Structure 1
């Protein structure tokens, strides 16, 4: 069962965290808050999944070149395979808890490897040539996280695919809100065909990420994301609500991006929106 209205606020504030829970809270507070609305016995797998996803996401950001990023992703694939084989975990603060959850059957090894595979697209220096490649990447990464989280909460394959679409919207909001940060790293993750339609090249986005032409592309993609999110099936089973809650933040962020081309930092309103949806068990 989910979190009751009576106990939700005390539950959120007083939860005792394991080391991997504390890691998840520190490195991905959005998904950590969402995970608190999972049944108590299902939270540890979600915390491990959040931490694993963080390590995959930073593979490219923490390295100086694509090859180094690929090596980091392979390191995590090997760690998952070793967990599946029942071998001792690697010496890493995330590898140990991840191994425990794979060994317990709470997280599926194949699905975890798929998450790592999806991240390889980020290592390609040419970026996403067409929008469909961009969408596939979003569905495999942020969408993949929501799908795997849903399966960990007991969702069947069909429900997991619904969650994948909702998670992809959160990923889209994250990319659109990070254009400036990516430009500072010399990267542009916006689809090149959409940039070309606006008379832009990736190099121009990197050089002037806050220019009005870039903001126009961001606003257009955000509006399309909002439209897709509004049309998505959102009658998520209460038991899986924790995996769907990132869509609450996606909707709020995409609205800001569609209006202003940028998103403000997280605030009380965001946390309240997630908490209220979690308490109601409804998006």
Structure 2
């Protein structure tokens, strides 16, 4: 893929799952999907790249301003993602309301902990679910399909969160909800300190079952040409089935994506 655009290379490097799924978008709309992936990556790294929560909020505000300025017809900012993003908004290829919702949802990551299961699900519907809605909107999915896409996106986000438990712990964090951990006598700080504890595994399996419920909520037949927005759910289904099994240990690094994962996405993509 030597002929990939700079935006496509960013998407492939930082989010290979969604990049693979975007390859099944219609060719004329594929670059917009790559751009959305790159934008989402910038939002996701706001907290990771910042030295403190306030700095992360400033980064998110920068992206909020970028979207608002593009909507107002102002010149694009000089940035490898912000420039193309502004052009896509001006051309009507991306909906600024979708993008602003994705920015707003990321503010939860600047807080010390996620207090409850309900707060976690709201966060997932706004972040990964918001991405799926924006992707579907850009592909021309009908309005009545967007809630299902949001559920599918949230399921993929939840699977990703559970896969990242060891990585979160290395950064001294846990995004598992405090109320569910509390039922096992744990706080988020305990889960961050040692994610191999039985209570962490119990909460993670409970959330994996929640994810399977989100997949069921997202059951829908999409018009041809819009299915790429739902393809990450194929990976979510494979991950969540493994995570719901008694032998899964969330404290261990997850397995790398393999041929089976790629083939599952490719088969679903070819089927439309």
TM-score (norm 1): 0.90
What do residues 220-258 of structure 1 show as CA deviations (whole Å, max 9, x unaligned)?
Answer: 211232243235323232321100000000001111211
The corresponding residue for 1:10 is none
Structure 1: distance between partners of 2:146 and 2:153:
10
Task: List structure 1 runs of 4+ shifted beyond 6 angstroms.
Answer: none
1:140/1:231 Cα in 2 relative to 1: closer, same or farther (>3 Å)?
closer
- Post-superposition Cα deviations, 1:154-176, rounded to whole Å, max 9, x if no partner, equal 11222111101000000000111
Aligned runs of 1:195-274 on 2, under 5 Å? 195-259=181-245, 260-262=248-250, 263-274=254-265
The number of equivalent residue pairs is 267
Gaps spanning 5+ residues in structure 2: where?
A: none
Partner of 2:179: 193
Residue-by-residue CA offset, 1:173-230 (whole Å, 9 max, x unaligned): 0111111111211211111111111221111101101222211211221123224323
Equivalent residues of 2:151, 2:214 under 8 A apart: no
Q: 1:153 aligns with which of 139, 147, 151?
A: 139
Identify which of 22, 44, 63 aligns with 1:76: 63
Corresponding residue of 1:5: none
Alignment gaps of 5+ in structure 1: 1-13
Question: What is the 5 A alignment of 1:25-40?
Answer: 25-40=12-27
The one-character-per-residue Cα deviations of 1:55-100 (angstroms, maximum 9, x if unpaired) are: 0011011112110000000000111112222222212111111111
1:93 matched to 2:84: no
Structure 2 SS opposite 1:238: coil
Q: Report the aligned-residue RMSD.
A: 1.4
Candidates 50, 68, 71, aligned match of 2:37: 50
CA contact (8 A) 1:218 1:261 kept: no
CA offsets per residue over residues 133-170 of structure 1, 9 Å max, x none? 11000000000000010000111222111101000000
